[in-house]
Amino acid sequence: MKLEDISSGQSLAGVEPTQIVSVIATVPHGDNALQIVYRLPDGNIKERLLGPTDESSIAAATVERPFSPDGDGAVVCPQPGGQVPAGHRAGRRHGRNARPYYLRNPFEAEPGWGVSSINFDLKELLKRAEAA
């Protein structure tokens, strides 16, 4: 990345070895140097003087989410009244007909306030579920 392309508000990779930084301010120093003030992910603020040799190691960072809800929201969010849209009632998955199941009370007892994860037995849940 060229030094003249760096501006405040950008996220950069390569300024710190394993972290993405957010540029707060830039101060040019002649034609071949740029001072940047940047914020680390933990909130600490640092500054660094960059030169032409740093251009090859610095790049604009792209932010990616660990997951993306890019599917059809109608399958996840049924129509008012709990109706699944007609086109989504049956489908083909792994060579079998697939259909949604509804489980009205998944818990045998309400989990405590400190519970962060619950493991379910899928076969047992499907036995208790109502087919759509």
At 29-85, the pLDDT tens digits run 988 999 999 999 899 999 999 999 999 999 998 755 555 555 544 444 444 555 555
Mean pLDDT over residues 80-100, rounded? 51
Q: How many CA atoms lie within 13 A of 117 on its CB side?
A: 1
E-only strand ranges, 17-107: 19-28, 34-39, 45-50, 59-60, 91-93, 96-98, 101-102
Residue-level pLDDT at 119:
78
Residue-level pLDDT at 73:
46
Query: How far apart are the C-alpha atoms of 55 and 81, rounded to whole Å?
Result: 58
Q: Which distant-in-sequence residues (6+ apart) come within 8 Å of 2 by Cβ?
A: 55
Q: Which domains does the chain have, with CATH numbers?
A: 3-60 (2.30.30), 73-131 (no CATH)
